[in-house]
Structure formats: structure tokens, C-alpha cells
């Protein structure tokens, strides 16, 4: 149940200055919220939604709406339907971060290692791109390296509030912009509409394309009109890719086999700087670059390796414990909410806010180097 209305209705629905709708939250939404809240409270969910959605916060926020018409239900329905969520909330539009700040701020502080509601994310800073070398020159542990960031197009809300027309408009805007990229970044846009299931599955299996039917995104109303407006741009050797309208408007990705984080990082920085000259991105003075999920705000950067550390991984709890000491997050081979296949783990920086792009990648670089050192000593 998406509460969003198109921006054009904003004048009828919301106040231009406060960004809040003066329309009441309807009874059906309030009923759904109340029953979902009670079920979550009674569950053994470990989500940050459960941890921070107290009865007091719930009662304070349940009658609020953004100028897009987004309600608390639009924010929390994924976590209400998936008690195994890690986080459980998404922002249906950028204003939600302000209107529902009493819930977003403690979750942001918890996830990003202490980014308080009074903190301000630092300006974009890619740092000295020559600093990072190869994490594993001998190729003993690291299978492949990837660095990605998310970007939202200015003037468009997030998935739950997008109209079918907007999806088509964004796809057209992005694909024509990316067609102007030169050199190593030169490539082709492939719409998901019309892509054969075989080609799609091969791209997913090779870790180039996002998986389909993510239940967390579906429950967040992020998959409406699928596959309209969705697609992937990539260069010939698939070391530079851009996802269009999966979870975020854009995921800009650099990746290659082996452990040369320096080359991967330099490629990403060149690409983002180039695209940024052609497309205006949504940026918030305090939260940094805006994304659908609060875990990706700020730098939006996730730098990861596909890595085999068989001794450390013989005890998964130990691997998680050691990784978290270096602010690293362990995922399965196919990414979030998946298991390792053939002993390959996706390990990346966890923090994305309250530090620069350079710092986020350095945290991964230093942490992975430590993991490899520990693995060698076992």
C-alpha cells in the first residue's frame, strides 16, 4: 500500500515550506500500522526498526505525511513484513528523512557507528587515488574487487513514489547521458525490458546484474511497474557498470578480477566525476548523497572483495567478530542476504557516513589487509 501521490498533487496535498502534507493519514493505513507494530513488538526480530520504533515514537509519527503523501507505513512496511530485516526501513522520498527523523536518526546513528542527528556528513572527498595498491598481488585470497556508490537524480522521489512515466523518463535521461561516456567507460545500456531470461540470469550469476524479486524491496513498494525503467549499462569487459532504478536511481560500479583496489577505485572516481558533470544528483547538507536506504547515505560507497579465507571462515561467528573489529561487513557470495558459495565471502566497509569517500575505502583496504594477515598466521 503506497501512500505516495505525484509531486504535481503536492499543492493540493502539502505545504511547500514545511514539506508536510496537511492531509490526514487514512484509517486503513492507521489500522495496518497498528497491527503491524503489535506483531513486530511480539516478534523476536533483531531489526533496528524493532530496536528504535518505541510506542512513543510510533504514536508521534503515525499521523505524519510528507508532501508526496508518504506515511510511516511507506517507511516501515518492509520491516513489518520481514522480521528478519537487518534494518527494516527505507525513505519513500527525500523528505521522509526529515518528517520521520525521530525514527531515521537513531537508526542512522546505530548503523553508521555513531553518526549523531547533530553531526554533519563531510563534503565529498575521493582523496589521493594513487594510495591504494593491490590487496593480494600473489592472488592467494582475493578473487575480485568492486567499489560502488549510489546516486539519486535531483527532482525525483524514490521507488515507492515514482510513476511509470517517471521510470521511463529517468531511463531515457540516464541511458542517453551514459551513451556519451568515452574511453574505458564507453559502453551500452541494456534495458531489463526485453532482456532474455538467459542473458539476465548469466549477468546475475556473474555478479554484474542485481538479482530480481528481492522480498525486502518488494515489501517496500520498490518494485512497482517492474521491469519498466530498469536496466544496466556496462563497458565491453564489464569493469564499469551502472544499475538503473533497482534499489537506487543509480548504482555506479567499478569491478574486476583480482585484488587491485587502486585500479578499481581510480576507475570509479573518474566515472562518478564524469557522470556528475552531466546529471544533477540529490545531495543533503547534513546527510550527504541521498539514497533509498539509510545504510547507503553519505558517501554511499561500498568497497568489497570476493575473498577466500578458509581458516578464518571455518568459524563464521569468529569471521564476523574479527571483521566487525575493522568495521567490515560480511555478506554471502551473491551479496546481501545470501550464503557463501565455495567459501567465497563478500567483505566490505560497513560505514558510509561521517567519513569521506577516501576514508570509507581506506577502512576496507586496511581491514582486508588485516584479515589476510590473520589468515596467514592461523
Give the interface with ligand DAR as residue ranges (CB under 6 A). Answer: 85-88, 216, 247, 293, 295-296, 336
Q: Cα(13)–Cα(243) distance, rounded to whole angstroms?
A: 32
Q: Which is nearer to ligand DAR, 71 or 85 (CB)?
A: 85
DSSP character for 255?
E
Shortest gap between Cβ of 277 and ligand DAR (angstroms)?
27
> With CB cut-offs between 5 and 8 Å by kind, which of ligand ADP, ligand DAR, none does residue 327 bind?
none
Q: Which is nearer to ligand DAR, 21 or 77 (CB)?
A: 77
* Interface segment toward ligand ADP; rule CB under 6 A; list 76-84, 138-146, 215-223, 364-372: 138-146
Pairing of strands 345-349, 240-244: unpaired
> With CB cut-offs between 5 and 8 Å by kind, which of ligand DAR, ligand ADP, none does residue 245 bind?
none
Does residue 352 bind ligand ADP (CB under 6 A)?
Answer: no
Cross-strand pairs, 328: 349
Q: Cα(276)–Cα(280) distance, rounded to whole angstroms?
A: 7
* Interface segment toward ligand ADP; rule CB under 6 A; list 76-84, 140-148, 165-173, 354-362: 140-148
Write out 313-374 in H/E/C secondary structure.
Answer: HCCHHHHHHHHHHCCEEEEECCECCCCCECCEEEEEECCCCCCCHHHHHHHHHHHHHHHHHH
Say if residue 325 is exposed, middle or buried (CB neighbours under 10 Å; 0-12, 13-18, 19+): exposed
Q: Is 342 annotated as a binding residue?
A: no
Q: Is 215 annotated as a binding residue?
A: no
Q: Of 127, 227, 258, 335, which one interacts with ligand ADP (CB under 6 A)?
A: 335
- Give the cell for residue 62: 503515525
Q: Cα(222)–Cα(215) distance, rounded to whole angstroms?
A: 10
Q: Which residues are annotated as a binding site?
A: 144-148, 207, 251, 302-306, 331-336
Task: Using CB under 6 A, list all residues that contact ligand ADP.
Answer: 144-146, 148, 207, 251, 255, 302, 304-306, 331, 333-336, 346
Amino acid at each position: 500500500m503506497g501512500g505516495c501521490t505525484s509531486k504535481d498533487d503536492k499543492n493540493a496535498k502539502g505545504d511547500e515550506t514545511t514539506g508536510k502534507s496537511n492531509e490526514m493519514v487514512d484509517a486503513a493505513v492507521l489500522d495496518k500500522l497498528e497491527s503491524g507494530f503489535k506483531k513486530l513488538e511480539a516478534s523476536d526480530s533483531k531489526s533496528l526498526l524493532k530496536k528504535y520504533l518505541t510506542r512513543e515514537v510510533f504514536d508521534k509519527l503515525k499521523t505524519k505525511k510528507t508532501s508526496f503523501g508518504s506515511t510511516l507505513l511507506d517507511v516501515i512496511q518492509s520491516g513489518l513484513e520481514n522480521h528478519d530485516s537487518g534494518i527494516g526501513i527505507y525513505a519513500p522520498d527525500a523528505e521522509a528523512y526529515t518528517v520521520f527523523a525521530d525514527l531515521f536518526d537513531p537508526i542512522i546513528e546505530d548503523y553508521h557507528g555513531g553518526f549523531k542527528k547533530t553531526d554533519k556528513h563531510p563534503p565529498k572527498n575521493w582523496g589521493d587515488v594513487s594510495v591504494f595498491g593491490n590487496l593480494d598481488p600473489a592472488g592467494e585470497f582475493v578473487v575480485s574487487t568492486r567499489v560502488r556508490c549510489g546516486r539519486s537524480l535531483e527532482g525525483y522521489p524514490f521507488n515507492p513514489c515514482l510513476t511509470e512515466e517517471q521510470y521511463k523518463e529517468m531511463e531515457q535521461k540516464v541511458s542517453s547521458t551514459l551513451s556519451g561516456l568515452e574511453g574505458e567507460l564507453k559502453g551500452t545500456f541494456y534495458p531489463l525490458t526485453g532482456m532474455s531470461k538467459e542473458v539476465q540470469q548469466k549477468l546475475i550469476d556473474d555478479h554484474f546484474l542485481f538479482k530480481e524479486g528481492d522480498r525486502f524491496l518488494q515489501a517496500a513498494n520498490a518494485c512497482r511497474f517492474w521491469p519498466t525503467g530498469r536496466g544496466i549499462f556496462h563497458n565491453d569487459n564489464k569493469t564499469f557498470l551502472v544499475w538503473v532504478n533497482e534499489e537506487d536511481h543509480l548504482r555506479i560500479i567499478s569491478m574486476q578480477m583480482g585484488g587491485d583496489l587502486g585500479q578499481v577505485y581510480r576507475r570509479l572516481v573518474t566515472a562518478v566525476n564524469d557522470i556528475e558533470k552531466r546529471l544533477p544528483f540529490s545531495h543533503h547538507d547534513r546527510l550527504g548523497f541521498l539514497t533509498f536506504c539509510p545504510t547507503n547515505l553519505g558517501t554511499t560507497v561500498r568497497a568489497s572483495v570476493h575473498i577466500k579465507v578458509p581458516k578464518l571462515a571455518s568459524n563464521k561467528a569468529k569471521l564476523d567478530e574479527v571483521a566487525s573489529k575493522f568495521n567490515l561487513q560480511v555478506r554471502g557470495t551473491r551479496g546481501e542476504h545470501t550464503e557463501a558459495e565455495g567459501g567465497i565471502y563478500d567483505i566490505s566497509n560497513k560505514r558510509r557516513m561521517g567519513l569521506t569517500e577516501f576514508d570509507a575505502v581506506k577502512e576496507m583496504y586496511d581491514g582486508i589487509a588485516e584479515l589476510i594477515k590473520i589468515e596467514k598466521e592461523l
